[in-house]
Amino acid sequence: MLRFAARRVLLLVPILIGLSILVFLFVRALPGGPETALLGENATPERVAQVRELYGLDRPVYEQYVSYVQSVLSLDFGTSITTRQPVVEEIARRFPGTVELTVTAMIIAVAVGIPLGFVAARRYGSWVDNLSTAGSLLGIAIPVFALGYLLKYFFAIKLGWFPTQGREGSLMFRNEHPTGFYVLDGIVTGNPEAAVDALRHLILPALALATIPLAFITRITRASVLEVTGEDYVRTAEAKGMTRSVITRRHILRNAMLPIVTVVGLQTGLLLSGAVLTETVFAFDGIGRFLAQAVFARDFPVIQAGILFLAVIFVLVNLLVDLSYGLLDPRVRTR
């Protein structure tokens, strides 16, 4: 297992190098630049030259890349053009919000998707199977931002059950946030009202964000369970007189878990790196919304650091998925 994990970690090196090159080139290919964000489109050539010199954009590309790699290794991404704060501090302040939202969405998706997919597979062709299939297709087809606005309209505006935006209520400004995870902060500081308020702010954006992974998990679970159920070892176990619960636990679920774990891992990485629309619709203070604002403001230090950070998170999540294969299936460790 240790050798298997070491091989997977070593494979990250060329991936991260290629990732740094792509992010570096992508950011510099965007129209406009820091000079446009700071000075506007009518700035004088002298002022533009000063800003370009300040950010090192007047140097050769290879020198800019070397400087960029050095800043990445030292975790010094400069200062945000719009907030005038260090980029690392801005990302660190907002990342717990994105993690909190992603974890809540994935808990919903896994808790509903796996049982629903399993029941649909075991009752193949029934109304439960047909309803789950239609519902998963609908979940994939509906845009997240459209579902977000619908949820806000019905459950926040019409019914008034949940707040419409933010991570906490306006009356909660005195809450302490030692960890940045607002629900956890309310618990550890002995403030249950703050924890409940933070959880109420999480429900609607998490439901909107959970629809696509829920649909994928349901479909993959259904397909995987159907495939495993038809295997010879399952029929042999049934012929031996094993109970349904033992067959389900030992033979069906365990062997069906590999594709399910793959989907859960990929969707978790995508949610961590792609919650831009959901956070924007619900004015949720996370990495996605911060990065979207940086794109509109042409805040190049934030764009560069934010894209690289989210890409690295996605790669690390996939590494954890690869390592989980070795735990679920010992045959994978020998490859």
Q: What is the pLDDT of residues 74-121, one digit of tens each?
A: 887 878 877 888 888 888 888 888 888 888 998 998 999 888 888 888
Q: Is residue 119 part of a domain?
A: yes
Same domain, 122 and 19: no
- Per-residue pLDDT at 332 exceeds 80: no
Same domain, 319 and 249: yes
3-state class of 300 per DSSP?
helix
Q: Are 35 and 51 contacting, i.e. CB atoms less than 8 angstroms apart?
A: yes
Same domain, 208 and 178: yes
Q: Is residue 79 part of a domain?
A: no
Same domain, 198 and 328: yes
Q: Is residue 78 part of a domain?
A: no
Q: Which of 46, 73, 100 is where one domain is finished?
A: 73
Same domain, 138 and 265: yes
Q: Is residue 82 part of a domain?
A: no
pLDDT of residue 327: 67
Show the domain range for 19. 2-73
When divided into structural domains, the chain yields a total of: 2
Hunting for tokens 């200062």 — which residue is that? 79
Q: Are 260 and 15 contacting, i.e. CB atoms less than 8 angstroms apart?
A: no
Q: Is residue 91 part of a domain?
A: yes
Q: Which of 47, 73, 99 is where one domain is finished?
A: 73
Q: Say which amino acid occupies 102.
A: T
- CATH code where residue 255 lies: 1.10.3720.10
Q: Is residue 80 part of a domain?
A: no
286 pLDDT band, cuts 50/70/90, is confident
Same domain, 58 and 201: no
Q: Is residue 212 part of a domain?
A: yes
5 pLDDT band, cuts 50/70/90, is low
Q: Are 258 and 221 contacting, i.e. CB atoms less than 8 angstroms apart?
A: no
pLDDT of residue 18: 82
Q: How far apart (Å, rounded) are the C-alpha atoms in residues 266 and 319?
A: 10
Using a CB cutoff of 8 Å and minimum separation of 24, what contacts does 327-332 make? 327/1, 328/254, 328/257, 328/258, 328/261, 329/258, 332/4
Threshold 0.85, pTM exceeds: no
Q: Are 117 and 221 contacting, i.e. CB atoms less than 8 angstroms apart?
A: yes
Mean pLDDT confidence for 55-79 = 79
Q: How crowded is residue 171: how many other Cβ atoms within 10 Å of its Cβ?
A: 9
Q: Is residue 326 part of a domain?
A: yes
Same domain, 165 and 304: yes
Same domain, 156 and 281: yes
Q: Which of 44, 73, 102 is where one domain is finished?
A: 73
Same domain, 64 and 96: no
Same domain, 61 and 146: no
- Rounded to the nearest integer, the mean pLDDT of the chain is 79
Same domain, 128 and 42: no
Same domain, 9 and 155: no
